[in-house]
Amino acid sequence: MPKVKIYNIEGKEVGEKKLHDDVFGVKVSPELVHEVVISLLSNERKPYAHTKTRGDVRGGGKKPWKQKGTGRARHGSRRSPIWIGGGITFGPRSDRDYSVKINRKVKQRAMLMSLSDKVADQKLVLVETLGVKDGKTKEFVGLMGKLPVEAKTIVVVAPGTDLLLRRSVSNVQGITLRNVGDLGLLDVLQAECLLMTPEAVDKIEQKFTAVKA
């Protein structure tokens, strides 16, 4: 059963928390995680470029010249892709669907693997509370300066909505705030460090163990 140290707002170690094996102790499969990431990125992709095929361009109803006797190559339409002003062959279309369907349980498994990988690499830091009294950036930066966190990209995971906390981190470069319910796979993978409270960890464990049950 993995364990993570807990720090107070002064940056001092005050204990440790045992983590659920089924959530934070899962064996990692890079291939599975990669498959899910590709599907998530594909589902977010929206095509904008749009070309016209020979059926979309204007004109071309009449045959340019008769089939035989002119000495020139035969053509049936001015809308042919080999003509200037004709349609485009295999060009990008705005109606193309890039979405990839992937099993819900597979996505959940990838999430658990990513969380487990953060724990194994000691990139999950727990602090007793993330509460800020005034919601000022200086207050949150002071807290971060006392914690053993050395990372350029940090995802702070709050147990619930906290408007003061959101205001205090909004101007801090490299800090992203997520609630337990909003935390996604890409957030975990892109973060060099995850900063949570024990309460947030409990909610994550309840969320995934309940789904598994």
Q: What is the number of structural domains in the chain?
A: 2
Residues 23 and 110 in one domain: yes
Closest CA to 126 of 30, 24, 22, 209: 24
Percent of the chain at pLDDT > 70 equals 98
Show the domain range for 69: 46-97
Looking at the structure, tell me whether residues 134 and 191 fall in a common domain. yes
203 and 132 together in one domain: yes
Query: pTM higher than 0.85, yes or no?
Result: no
Q: How confident is the model at residue 10 (pLDDT cuts 50, 70, 90)?
A: confident
169 and 200 belong to one structural domain: yes
- Write out the E strands in 42-148: 124-127
Per residue in 13-23, pLDDT (tens digit) is 899 999 999 99
Q: pLDDT per residue over 187-204, tens digit each? A: 999 999 999 999 999 999
Instruction: Give dist(CA 17, CA 113) in Å, integer.
Output: 19
Q: For residues 142 and 172, is the Cβ–Cβ distance under 8 A? A: no
Task: Pull the structure tokens for residue 213.
Answer: 């049950």
Q: Are residues 7 and 109 in the same domain?
A: yes
CATH number, domain with residue 133: 3.40.1370.10
Pair 21, 73 in one domain: no
Give how far the C-alpha of residue 169 lies from the chain's centroid of Cα atoms, to the nearest Å.
Answer: 20
Residue 5: per-residue pLDDT: 92
Q: Does 81 lie in the same domain as 169?
A: no
The verdict on 91 and 111 lying in the same domain is: no
Q: 23 and 116: one domain?
A: yes
* Alpha carbons 28 and 14: distance in angstroms, whole number: 30
- Give a yes or no: residue 34 inside a domain: no
Tell whether 151 and 202 lie within a shared domain: yes
- The answer on 93 and 122 residing in a single domain is no
Domain match, 127 and 200 both: yes
